[in-house]
Amino acid sequence: MKFILKVILIASLSYLAELFFPWWSVVFCAFLVGGILPTKGFNDFLAGFLGVGLLWLIFALLIDLDSDSLLAQRIAPVLQMSNALVVTSVTGLLGALAGGFGALSGSQLRRIFMEDPPKPGYFG
C-alpha cells in the first residue's frame, strides 16, 4: 500500500512541479517523497521509476498524438532511431531513470541521518 501511495504521490507532485519549474524538478519531487516515505532499496527506485516514467510516457504520447508525430518523426533520424515511437519510449525511459535515482537518493540520505528501527528478534 505504501508503494502505490509513493508512486501516486511522486507522479502527482511531479506533474504539478513541471507546470512551473524545469524538467529536473521531477528528480527533486522524487527525492522528497523518497526521503519522507522510506521503503527499502529497490522499492524506492521502482516507485520513482514508475511514477515519473509513466508521467513522462503519457505526456510524450499525448503530445505525439496531438501533433501527428511531426516532432518525433523529425527527431528520430537525428538520433539515429527507427521511428517516432522509439523516440517517445526513450523519453519515458529517461524520465523513469531520473525519477528512480531521485527517489533512491532521497531514501539513502534519510538512512544516513536516521537509524532504522530495530527488528524483532534476538540480538546477541
Specify the pTM.
0.84
51 and 28 in contact (C-beta within 8 Å)? no
Average pLDDT of the chain, as a whole number: 88
Instruction: Give the tens place of pLDDT for each residue, 104-114.
Output: 999 999 988 88
In a 13 Å sphere around the CA of 20, the CA atoms on its Cβ side amount to 4
Measure the CA–CA gap between 3 and 111, rounded to whole angstroms: 18
